[in-house]
Chains A and B, each alone.
Chain A
Amino acid sequence: DSGVTQTPKHLITATGQRVTLRCSPRSGDLSVYWYQQSLDQGLQFLIQYYNGEERAKGNILERFSAQQFPDLHSELNLSSLELGDSALYFCASSVDPQNPTDTQYFGPGTRLTVL
């Protein structure tokens, strides 16, 4: 157990809908990262937050947004869902991204299925 929790574990929804994925980082970790893993793909970095502020953005669609709250948990919002958004969404957390050798610890993921 990495100490990173993600809810829900599974989510099935329809095209055009909006969903929210939740992540609680390890105790003491200030940074949260979101990744998407589609079928036969590696993990694609979406976005990073550090202590409530957006730190870095990857290939995140405009239909997707995220935030990190004062208690450091994070939510990833996916709207106007399309079939291609079906994927595993992982959250990771780390202590100090200022450290170039900082290690990211991953949660178990949320499997999103868009029908």
Chain B
Amino acid sequence: SSELTQSPAVSVALGQTVRITCQGDTLRDYYAGWYQQKPGQAPVRVMYGKDDRPSGIPDRFSGSRSGNTFALTITGTQAEDEAVYYCKSRDSGGNFLFGGGTKVTVL
């Protein structure tokens, strides 16, 4: 099916590591990208492709892939990383898909 599944929420202690996942059958064929959205702001791309980080995104953000699951890992989470993270991919028909988003709370 053409759906991307994310856990709704996760919490992480300041300075610790958090892993967010995105699961879907289409991810066996297509890459996922990750987008960070803070309240009242437009989303920002934080990861794309195999493990490509846009200019300006800290290297504490990393990506990985296994089977039908993509993961975004934040190592040494900072307070400013608190946000909702969305994965995005595509299906075989060329349509783009978003996951439901994961709210990351930094404790």
Partners in one complex: no
Interface residues of A (CB under 8 A from B): none
